[in-house]
Structure 1
Amino acid sequence: MDRMRQFPSRGALRRVGLGPADLVVAAGVAALLYALVRVGSGLHAPFNPVTYPGRIPVDPADLPYDAARSLLRMFIGLAISVVFAFVYATAAARSRRAATVLLPILDILQSVPVLGFLSVTVTAFIALFPHSVLGLECASIFAIFTAMAWNMAFAFYQGLTTQPKELDEAARVMRLTRWERFWTLDVPSAAIPLVWNGMMSFGGAWFFLSASEAISVAGHTYALPGVGSYAASALATGNLAGVGEAIAVMILLVLGTNVLFWRPLVAWSERFRTEQSGSAETPRSAVLGVLRRSRIPSTLSRQLHPAREALDRGTRVFGLADWPLQVDLRRRRVGDLAFAAVVTAACAYGVYDALHYVSRTIGLGAFPHAFALGAVTFLRVVVIVVVSTLIWVPVGIAIGLSPRATRLAQPVVQVAASFPANLVYPAVVALLLVVHVGLDVGGVFLMALGAQWYVLFNVIAGASAVPSDLREAVNAFRLPRWERWKALYLPAVVPAYITGGITAAGGAWNASIVAEVVTFGRHHLVATGIGAYITEATARGDFPAVFVGVVVMSVYVVATNRLVWRRAYRLAEGRFSL
């Protein structure tokens, strides 16, 4: 009898005891909090424009701290990009009127070079925090944000516009609020493409880390502690050993974030597959396994449950996910006409003001020449997209269909996509000089170094999201390999490929700024194109010419997206969504 009375208490003690997984998670949280406090304290250092250094010391002993500062900026930029993608893509996907404005704006934003955003915002951030280095930190984080946000917004938009209709109807029948629908349906349905595009965006931001941490404004350069500015200082002083150290640390950071952050997210996102049968083989992550065995995450989740219920109740005042099936077409037509009139008037005024500015500075005759240069760069972008499609679509499908191949290829692809290609530009130019190939042709290869990975990552995400029951069906019917690709694999990745194509094209336009003008020793190579036009105008301080170049580039990007990619999106929504 005494033993029976003691048994529940023993079980209770065992339930509240900490296991090995709990100890590992607790130690990891403690280490993370300490690192945040230790690194975050440097964000509020005093700032003096006169005495602030333009370069950081190239000392290997400082690399761990510099790497931690860079990693903190990257994750802050990633968090802001996720919030931006949630808000912006949801507005574009749920409102037809908003989409007519938001999608062209997104097309323009992804075509504007990251350095262009940086030159405009640095002064504002420094004025906002005049006596603290926090202004420079905000400018650097904003530059990283602009390298991530547009791709993630396109990925989330694609996930929303291609979600299964049955789930949409279920959300209406269950009378979910818009808040509940967002977290119950919208985010899970776009989880896989959002994770893979977040990984791609995170990798692409490493490319611009040197420029975002060594900030130039009003003729002064301010270098923030970071692995990017470390590499820039080593390059400026000709310290090749320092450049190698920075690249080695950057690769370690990429591999570490892949193991500790991205691979667990990829494995976790598998729960949001749209399928009726379980996958035979799913991605695995030791970190995710430890988190699932630990009771700490579930305990924290239970503590936050009342707040979640309060949010669910409070958001009902903003309306339900349900809306009437019968719509007053006359009222909607009148509203559409009024909205179109306002947008047209605003655009007309903007065009008139821009043309007036150009006419009284360099003259309207600059536009025909700029459009001719834009056509040359446009041909390079088309070649990059076509070649990337032919190479990386079959490779991405093969990787995405095999969790084992995904696990092996993910870190390799991420390191290749994250590698700062601008550091190898001099070596590539030296090779072009040896083989006597001009930058007009070699510029295509330089632009492709950073743009091609968008296609690969999106195709991998699309292939990994193919339901297992459909894969089993084609196996059961014993279809030939080509029939499987034609009937299932290629159609299944079309929506993801379109997102990859549109972001790869935007990345190629962006890369043309640095790929069409390259200096190597005494050699200064210039290619014919709008990227070189903008770069040389910026070097001369000819801001009207810079404005003309950016406008022409934006026109090409928006026209291509509206005439090609938007129609492809509609085709994917109608024919290739599950």
Structure 2
Amino acid sequence: MMRLFNAGLEDEKAFDWGDVFVLLLLVALLYGGARLAFQAPEVIQGPTISLSPSMLPYYTLRSVGRMAGAYLLSMIFTLFYGRTAAYNRTAEKVLMPLLDVLQSVPILSFLPVVLLGLSALLPVSLAAELASVVLIFTSQVWNLTFAWYQSLTTIPRELREASAIFRLNTWFQFKTLELPFAAISLVWNSMMSWAGGWFFLMAAEIFTVGQRDFRLPGLGAYLHEAANQQNMQAIGWGVGALVLTVVLLDQFVWRPLMAWTERFKVEMVESDTPPTSWFYDLLNGSRILRWFGQRVMHPFMEAIDRFMLRIEPPGPPQEKPARLSWPLRLGPVAVGGAGLYFAYRAVLMLLTMAPEHWAQVALGVAATLARVLIALLVALAWTIPVGVIIGTNQRLATLLQPLVQVIASVPATAIFPVFVLLLVRLPGGLNLAAVLLMLMGTQWYLLFNIIAGASAIPQDLKYTARLIHLSRWERWRTLILPGLFPYLVTGAITASGGAWNASIVSEYITFGGKALHTVGIGSLIAQATAAGDYPLLLAATLSMILAVVLINRLFWRRLYQTAEERYRME
């Protein structure tokens, strides 16, 4: 069913100079932000958050606006970054390690440095807005980029050969082959990006550092204020507004996109029950939109096509050139030099730490790693069967998809205090609560990717499996699991990275004016942030990044290479 083949790719090293370069760059950025943080105002007054239900439409629009802005930046970054990494082997040696590092950066520990640094340079309100968009961007972009890269590297060879026969240039190959082939995966990962974005939006809108209040008007600030005042009615109004927003987005954005992308499935037989959308059907029947498409959009797209043909004549684009242009070669040298200087300054800062603090960091990394593994195993145990059921049964998907989106989009930080109150009195209760919050925040990365993988399995292969009377186990072994494998790796990479990030809010919890914490690197980062201990914050953050990068390079990247070499639809 799934063709196994060896692409003859080079064995990938666990670490190379690309990793060293990006780690030095990250150390430099962390140090530079920490130095700027010392110049931030000592006291910053935050806005007053009203719990009146009449303010919810305004707060919702502010939150959705931040999400939309971050998502637009994420898609632009994804399309350019993922394509460059997939088709330029020299750039890939730097870009993919950099992507591993970036998706593992504990952004909630980086946020105070970003906020304090920006507030030293810009007005506080603008700095807070920019920092919130950056935080949401980092929660949305990595799974999109990994999904786009995975799609480009698993396009069937016969489709590549067809594009070469038709002499498609870069633009037409992107428009007619790459984007359609990746459409299903991008739509499902976009839904996941928005669901994950809500989680981090709440954190971005309620951020405070000592006497510096960086809160922003929005749904997150509303829910946080309601929880602090223990106003259950206001919590209900806030969660209700969030659920309504998610349902509206599902009906007016995601479901129409799913119905539209069904045409791009690589299959010879059409599905019996394709995705449907009443809003998509309504738009298709609109004469005004049809006139707009014929008179405006069609001529506009033709003009773009002619322009792109003038820029690049017909012919297949050259993949993975051996050399980079001189600006791309000199740029890393200049940045690397600056990175070495700031890395030296960062080392001097780290040398001020006491030995017992380094022991706490090592113990914290080990404890958090154990929780991440438990959360990932639990997530895999239920998301694989449930994701396959939703992805292969359209009738069931029609019922469950909105429910899954709503549950995934409700930020765990909004309802987590309830679980803490229930679990904290049990033996090991806070450890159990920390694993639960990691699971609530990251299992959806797996589920949405598995649904996308199951949805992309061609209908003709499913019919063939039935015709030759494969048993249920044989169908899973020869069709479903090989078809899911690339999507499963993508989901697992982003889920594990998200679990490490979630440790910062799951291992150190404030509720009702009290702080509860357990042993873990996330707890150390949160404590260092609250105390303004920048050397400990830098050490804990870099330790988490190094741990995640090592796991990605030694384990996940090898699975990615296996997916590219052995499991693709051919």
Q: Distance in 1 between matches of 2:513 and 2:53?
A: 30
1:285 aligns with 2:296: no
Equivalent residue for 2:23?
A: none
Q: Distance in 2 between matches of 1:210 and 1:344?
A: 34
Could you tell me whether the CA contact under 8 Å between 2:192 and 2:444 is conserved in 1? Answer: yes
1:96 aligns with 2:61: no
1:226 aligns with 2:211: no
Q: Which residue among 150, 165, 174 is the counterpart of 1:158?
A: 150
Equivalent residue for 1:415?
A: 406
Where in structure 1 are there 5+ consecutive unaligned residues? 1-48
Deviations 1:148-207 (A, max 9, x none): 111211111111111111112222222222122112111111111111111011011111
Q: Which residue among 216, 231, 238 is the counterpart of 1:239?
A: 231
Deviations 1:350-377 (A, max 9, x none): 7952663344422687545423321221
Q: Distance in 2 between matches of 1:118 and 1:324?
A: 40
Which residues in structure 2 correspond to 1:397-408 (within 5 Å)?
A: 397-408=388-399
Relative to structure 1, the CA distance from residue 498 to residue 324 in structure 2 (aligned partners, 3 Å threshold; closer, same or farther) is closer
Relative to structure 1, the CA distance from residue 178 to residue 522 in structure 2 (aligned partners, 3 Å threshold; closer, same or farther) is closer
Equivalent residue for 1:267?
A: 259
In the TM superposition, what is the alpha-carbon distance from 1:447 to its structure 2 partner? 1.1
1:138 aligns with 2:138: no
Q: Distance in 2 between matches of 1:565 and 1:343?
A: 31
In the TM superposition, what is the alpha-carbon distance from 1:524 to its structure 2 partner? 4.0
Equivalent residue for 1:83?
A: 76
Q: Which residue among 230, 244, 268 is the counterpart of 1:276?
A: 268
Deviations 1:92-119 (A, max 9, x none): 1111222222222222222223334433
Equivalent residue for 2:49?
A: 56
The code of the aligned residue for 2:169 comes to: T
Q: Distance in 1 between matches of 2:415 and 2:336?
A: 47
The code of the aligned residue for 1:103 comes to: M
Deviations 1:368-407 (A, max 9, x none): 5423321221121112222211221111111101111111
Equivalent residue for 2:468?
A: 477
The code of the aligned residue for 2:73 comes to: I
Q: Distance in 1 between matches of 2:559 and 2:342?
A: 28
The code of the aligned residue for 1:468 comes to: Q
The code of the aligned residue for 1:531 comes to: G
Q: Distance in 2 between matches of 1:272 and 1:485?
A: 24
Greater relative contact order (Cα < 8 A, sep 6+): 2
In the TM superposition, what is the alpha-carbon distance from 1:305 to its structure 2 partner? 3.1
Could you tell me whether the CA contact under 8 Å between 1:140 and 1:213 is conserved in 2? Answer: yes
Where in structure 2 are there 5+ consecutive unaligned residues? 1-41
Q: Distance in 2 between matches of 1:59 and 1:352?
A: 49
Could you tell me whether the CA contact under 8 Å between 2:90 and 2:323 is conserved in 1? Answer: no
1:533 aligns with 2:524: yes
Could you tell me whether the CA contact under 8 Å between 1:276 and 1:469 is conserved in 2? Answer: yes
1:374 aligns with 2:365: yes
The code of the aligned residue for 1:180 comes to: F
Could you tell me whether the CA contact under 8 Å between 1:117 and 1:143 is conserved in 2? Answer: no
Q: Distance in 1 between matches of 2:427 and 2:483?
A: 43
Could you tell me whether the CA contact under 8 Å between 2:44 and 2:214 is conserved in 1? Answer: no
Could you tell me whether the CA contact under 8 Å between 2:44 and 2:211 is conserved in 1? Answer: no
SS at match of 1:457: helix
1:453 aligns with 2:453: no
Q: Distance in 2 between matches of 1:491 and 1:343?
A: 44
Relative to structure 1, the CA distance from residue 264 to residue 354 in structure 2 (aligned partners, 3 Å threshold; closer, same or farther) is farther
In the TM superposition, what is the alpha-carbon distance from 1:514 to its structure 2 partner? 0.8
TM-score, normalising length: structure 2: 0.84
Relative to structure 1, the CA distance from residue 256 to residue 345 in structure 2 (aligned partners, 3 Å threshold; closer, same or farther) is closer
Which residues in structure 2 correspond to 1:155-554 (within 5 Å)?
A: 155-216=147-208, 219-302=211-294, 303-316=296-309, 317-318=311-312, 322-323=316-317, 349=340, 353=344, 356-362=347-353, 366-367=357-358, 369-521=360-512, 524-554=515-545
Q: Which residue among 140, 146, 149 is the counterpart of 1:148?
A: 140
Which residues in structure 2 correspond to 1:99-114 (within 5 Å)?
A: 99-114=92-107
Q: Distance in 2 between matches of 1:150 and 1:51?
A: 32
The answer to which of 291-300 and 356-365 deviates more is 356-365
Could you tell me whether the CA contact under 8 Å between 2:424 and 2:433 is conserved in 1? Answer: no
Q: Distance in 2 between matches of 1:318 and 1:127?
A: 45
The code of the aligned residue for 1:349 comes to: L
The code of the aligned residue for 1:193 comes to: S
SS at match of 2:388: helix
SS at match of 1:208: helix
Q: Aligned residues: percent identity?
A: 41
Relative to structure 1, the CA distance from residue 340 to residue 138 in structure 2 (aligned partners, 3 Å threshold; closer, same or farther) is closer
The code of the aligned residue for 1:78 comes to: Y
In the TM superposition, what is the alpha-carbon distance from 1:315 to its structure 2 partner? 2.9
Query: How many residue pairs end up in the alignment?
Result: 524
The code of the aligned residue for 1:296 comes to: I
Relative to structure 1, the CA distance from residue 127 to residue 307 in structure 2 (aligned partners, 3 Å threshold; closer, same or farther) is farther
Relative to structure 1, the CA distance from residue 353 to residue 364 in structure 2 (aligned partners, 3 Å threshold; closer, same or farther) is farther
Could you tell me whether the CA contact under 8 Å between 1:399 and 1:405 is conserved in 2? Answer: yes
Which residues in structure 2 correspond to 1:25-44 (within 5 Å)?
A: none
The answer to which of 136-145 and 62-71 deviates more is 136-145
Q: Distance in 1 between matches of 2:559 and 2:547?
A: 17
The code of the aligned residue for 1:291 comes to: L
1:569 aligns with 2:560: yes
Q: Distance in 2 between matches of 1:262 and 1:306?
A: 27
SS at match of 1:525: strand
SS at match of 1:282: coil
Deviations 1:439-466 (A, max 9, x none): 2343212211111111111100100110
Q: Distance in 2 between matches of 1:371 and 1:319?
A: 56
SS at match of 1:435: coil
Q: Distance in 2 between matches of 1:292 and 1:428?
A: 46
Relative to structure 1, the CA distance from residue 482 to residue 153 in structure 2 (aligned partners, 3 Å threshold; closer, same or farther) is same
Relative to structure 1, the CA distance from residue 321 to residue 343 in structure 2 (aligned partners, 3 Å threshold; closer, same or farther) is farther
The answer to which of 307-316 and 253-262 deviates more is 307-316
In the TM superposition, what is the alpha-carbon distance from 1:290 to its structure 2 partner? 0.6
In the TM superposition, what is the alpha-carbon distance from 1:55 to its structure 2 partner? 2.6
Relative to structure 1, the CA distance from residue 198 to residue 407 in structure 2 (aligned partners, 3 Å threshold; closer, same or farther) is same
Relative to structure 1, the CA distance from residue 97 to residue 291 in structure 2 (aligned partners, 3 Å threshold; closer, same or farther) is same
SS at match of 1:238: coil
- Aligned-pair Cα RMSD in Å: 3.1
Q: Distance in 1 between matches of 2:502 and 2:300?
A: 45
Q: Which residue among 36, 42, 61 is the counterpart of 1:68?
A: 61
Q: Distance in 2 between matches of 1:557 and 1:51?
A: 34
Q: Distance in 2 between matches of 1:452 and 1:51?
A: 36
